Chains A and B, each alone.
Chain A
């Protein structure tokens, strides 16, 4: 089952089968969706475990020609960079199907769309053909809009759908323009990423062209990741979305933009990257501080989680802006950790919404007495969200801060305030408002999540966060060699990085992080 095409097409084929079945087979739809995503998950786990870290080139590679005239082909593969993302995506997809029992109408369409979304996401992460990469993303994106529009909740649903559609289509369009420009200017007549990389390594684009294309990709992908100030679609969109769509989008699909920046923009446009990273670092601070402060003011749990999720993207951008192996590795860890965390938070919030009818913090309180399991899960998720060690977010966030320090000191200082203090303020205020304090009479009879099936998605997501938090090398040892190859042209660390990578530094003689020959000024 460790076959990428199988992993990607399991949900897609299941979607097709469901679409062809009679409309009333609700139980079967759910079983098919569960089965398909479960098979994908098993496959992703096996790929993750079987991956050889540090091996040159792609593994589990599969190719087929498709539109040969334009140099477009079907090309999938994994290396250390996307194996973890694939695993995270498959896990979240399975969890999202698990929590979809809240859907009460139009099951067939719902599951078709959800599975399309899941398959599209997984495909985008393993595609090594730029065209395929983009197509898979659109395959996942369009169902998101429909899911929010049809199964969404709240009064602002229409506006939220409208806003998210407008923003994300625009972002995707800008990114597409960048990709096409890359294709045309490279002049290699291929969308195949490895070939394109080889070609551009031999004949790099002019500095000006690199700068323009990197800008297009940065803002195109940036909008998809809710880069400040293009983030307002995210909190309202997630607050209105059905639980599973919020989990899949905030958790996984949103990471597509970051993945694109790391996989495509950094290695192919190293000169262009250097023109933009200072701006990017400050915009990342916008995410971290500004959206953190906005989250402090939210009284709706969904909006709070949404804003906090936007804030966390700041770490990812900051790591990219560092252009260092440490920072970008941190970004990838943040992507995986945040994917699990966002999915977990929205799952809990969705459960609360379904059982209590509201997630307004002013109306809730003391729920830990009535819902110890869910409360425990949520408190742990909140801790993960404020960067507590023991959860995967901590190593990721710490690495981005360490990595960005040499290049962006002021930003790191302010970002640390956002990470340690502001995040803790809104997370703990939410815990205080939701779970602590006396239990109002009105909520005395609410039911906790009972039964293995109901608890499974929470346990899986939380378990993954804890495992990767306690043993971050499971991720970083895979990611590091690939990232070193990708950012090496950009960072000009040159000899130091290569040395450190070729022979891991012997104990007690680690490399100094400052660039060689550069005095640390204080």
Chain B
């Protein structure tokens, strides 16, 4: 029964994608029904499995060769069960919201097909039992992301962003694939359970390849979770429809990198974890800084996503050898709730303003869009780590982890980023939702229809309450660590302050400082005062520290230049020089031998045979 339900979770969205593609490409309502129905079925089945606490593995053999056996399997354990709920739960809300947001778009069936394909691929990552299967679904989420970012493919910006996202991810996947091959060649299997058993039984089996393999696998996560230095694709990915940004580029797919690291935590050794921690920390800081000077509501959220992903990756790294990365998964989960909420609320704003995304053309929206405003505010508070919102608890576990590991540099970095987070998020809230209207656009804004506001409210519930649900203990169970729960809500709320006061107060005060700064600067602002205060650095931040330009120049100077040279060689040396040269020799010979070169078939046959004989003679006589 459990095996059946697990297959159902995975295959329902796949079925929907196939049915829509084959039969419903011209029938929007049918397509929406299939897609939404499938994700709801998957959600319901996940709930049943979760309630039953089902664990276990089921698999069919996908490839079977000597020394290389690849299963196509499904694995249920605490980690995948919780992640299933996140993906299908948040996914359900976003699927339903999409039906309102995308209504009337001529490509709607294609949109829902893409969404279902994505759900299938993401669930495949969650349930995978071996490395190659992980890679397969890893690529499939990449391609569904490509299709959905480029959904409005007629807009050059969207088409370019889709391409950029896919290619950047491919650079990460290059490392991931090599890591998989390396793990296989050293340990002789791709199955996750076998790998972890082998490593537990005989860690030296690993040898010197451990760090290399860990870092190569991490490359995959760097690409998918948009960590520095491959972070450039995520902001551009905001060209896709907003619900896509919410589902794929905030809640689930970009978090897949973190999930991968937690799933393969047993592969990572201390040096690799140190690199991972610093990569995450740097990404968190860099993205928070870049967010300060963005004016597009979705791009601000995109950078904040990057920054939060940095926190999660940092948490994985901080867990250290012998620890467990439950804090990273905890933050991933709460982040999925509140960031999806923020994006959907931003979508409601964009919808109301007829696709205006510049916050400096908004203002005073709190009164016009009350539901949107209050839910957005809830998301913002959770993101900033204000108690009792879920984000407070999850962020606190990460800061506490840094404290406990005595990694004070990253603790300071985490606290600093918390201040920046509060600053840029309240800049967004204050400019867009309060103060005077800064253009004509907000005058005619209307609250979105219930099909969009109900998902907002539905996501606001876990945004507020998920900190009290014991999600962290659920994840800790995966790694065999049981923590005692605090009794009662109040005790739970105050527990962080008692347990690791430096971390809890540090994060809270930093957020407060960020809020105060934003309040002072932006409460009544009609244009951004920060460039005046900061000068040139503000411009650098607005221009995203010129990473895109740098990479473009780098690619032009290396790969593109090489391609240019090689293409020229191919054309002028190999084809023109050698071939035409050979042709010239043949022609000359032909002229000399004109009397045998009659041009009829028999002569050619004779020459063919003669040539063969000569070659043969030459071969044998030596």
Mark A residues whose CB is within 8 Å of B. 162-163, 166-167, 169, 173-174, 176-177, 180-181, 184-185, 212-213, 216, 229, 232-233, 236, 290-291, 293-294, 296-298, 325-326, 329, 366, 368-369, 372, 383, 386, 388-390, 394-395, 398-399, 401-402, 405-406, 412-413, 416-417, 420-422, 424-425, 428-429, 431-432, 435-439, 472-473, 476-477, 480, 484, 493, 496-497, 500-501, 504-505, 507-508, 510-514, 520, 522
Contacts and interface: CB of A to CB of B under 8 A. Distances in A.
A212 B619 contact: yes
A442 to B, nearest CB: 16
Nearest to B555: A425
Contact of B619 (A216, A383, A388, A510): A216
Contact of A326 (B65, B153, B177, B574): B65
B579 A405 contact: no
User: 9 closest Cβ contacts across the A-B interface?
Assistant: A512-B188, A436-B159, A500-B66, A297-B567, A177-B615, A389-B136, A293-B563, A511-B67, A232-B575
A472 B187 CA distance: 24
Interface of B: 25, 61-69, 132, 135-137, 139-140, 143, 150, 153-154, 156, 159-160, 162-163, 166-167, 170-171, 173-174, 177-178, 181, 184-189, 191, 193-194, 207-209, 212, 559-560, 562-564, 566-567, 570, 574-575, 578-579, 582-583, 586, 608, 611-612, 615-616, 619-620
Contacts of A401: 177, 181
A216 B622 CA distance: 14
Given A510-B188, A511-B188, A166 B586 contact: yes
Contacts of B64: 473, 476-477, 480, 504
Nearest to A372: B25
26 contacts: A166-B583, A167-B579, A169-B608, A173-B608, A173-B612, A177-B619, A212-B619, A233-B579, A293-B563, A293-B566, A297-B566, A366-B154, A395-B63, A399-B65, A413-B178, A416-B177, A416-B181, A437-B156, A500-B67, A505-B69, A510-B189, A511-B67, A513-B185, A513-B188, A520-B186, A522-B212
A508 B191 contact: yes
A398 B132 contact: yes
Given A290-B570, A329-B65, A428-B167, A522 B181 contact: no
Contacts of A326: 65-68
Contact of B564 (A184, A297, A406, A421): A297
Nearest to A368: B153
Q: Which of B66, B150, B160 has the most CB of A within 10 A?
A: B66
A284 to B, nearest CB: 16
Given A428-B167, A437-B153, A513 B616 contact: no
A298 B563 CA distance: 10
A437 B64 CA distance: 43
B609 to A, nearest CB: 9
A228 to B, nearest CB: 9
B563 A296 contact: yes
A480 B65 contact: yes
Given A402-B181, A435-B153, A514-B185, A421 B174 contact: yes
B153 A436 contact: yes
Contact of A294 (B178, B570, B620): B570
B579 A232 contact: yes
Contacts of B188: 510-514
B87 to A, nearest CB: 19
Contacts of B162: 436
A463 to B, nearest CB: 11
B185 A181 contact: no
A280 to B, nearest CB: 19
B69 A510 contact: yes
Contacts of A233: 579
Contact of B562 (A185, A293, A413, A420): A293
Contact of B67 (A181, A229, A513): A513
Contacts of B65: 325-326, 329, 399, 476, 480
Contacts of B61: 473
Nearest to B562: A293
A412 B181 CA distance: 10
Given A437-B154, A510-B188, A429 B163 contact: yes
Contacts of A297: 563-564, 566-567
Given A386-B170, A438-B156, A514-B188, 12 more contacts: A177-B612, A177-B619, A180-B616, A181-B619, A401-B177, A432-B159, A432-B163, A438-B154, A476-B65, A510-B67, A511-B188, A514-B185
B163 A389 contact: no
B19 to A, nearest CB: 15
Contact of A325 (B66, B177, B194): B66
Contacts of B139: 388-389, 394
Contacts of B187: 512
Contacts of B137: 389
A511 B185 contact: no
Contacts of B66: 325-326, 480, 484, 493, 496-497, 500-501, 505, 511
B493 to A, nearest CB: 46
A181 B620 contact: yes
A421 B25 CA distance: 31
A162 B583 contact: yes
A416 B586 CA distance: 39
Contacts of B616: 177, 180-181, 184
Contacts of B150: 436
A420 B174 contact: yes
Nearest to B61: A473
Contacts of B159: 432, 436-437
Q: Which of B69, B208, B560 has the most CB of A within 10 A?
A: B69
Given A177-B615, A236-B575, A522-B207, A390 B140 contact: yes
A436 B163 CA distance: 11
B173 A420 contact: yes
B174 A513 contact: no
Contact of A522 (B143, B163, B209, B567): B209
A383 B139 CA distance: 11
Nearest to A511: B67
Nearest to B615: A177
B566 A290 contact: yes
B189 to A, nearest CB: 5
Nearest to A229: B574
A180 B156 contact: no
A266 B174 CA distance: 31
A180 B67 contact: no
A257 B429 CA distance: 66
A496 B143 CA distance: 38
Contacts of A298: 567
Given A173-B612, A421-B170, A508 B194 contact: yes
B534 to A, nearest CB: 37
A297 B570 CA distance: 11
A272 to B, nearest CB: 13
A212 B579 CA distance: 25
A496 to B, nearest CB: 7
A366 B155 CA distance: 9
B68 A402 contact: yes
A510 B69 CA distance: 7
Contacts of A388: 139-140, 143
Contacts of B156: 436-438
A323 to B, nearest CB: 13
A399 B208 CA distance: 25
Nearest to A292: B563
Contacts of B68: 326, 399, 402, 510, 513
Contacts of A386: 170
A236 B608 CA distance: 25
A437 B155 CA distance: 6
A222 to B, nearest CB: 15
Given A184-B616, A293-B567, A296-B563, A416 B178 contact: yes
Contacts of A508: 189, 191, 193-194
A369 B154 contact: yes
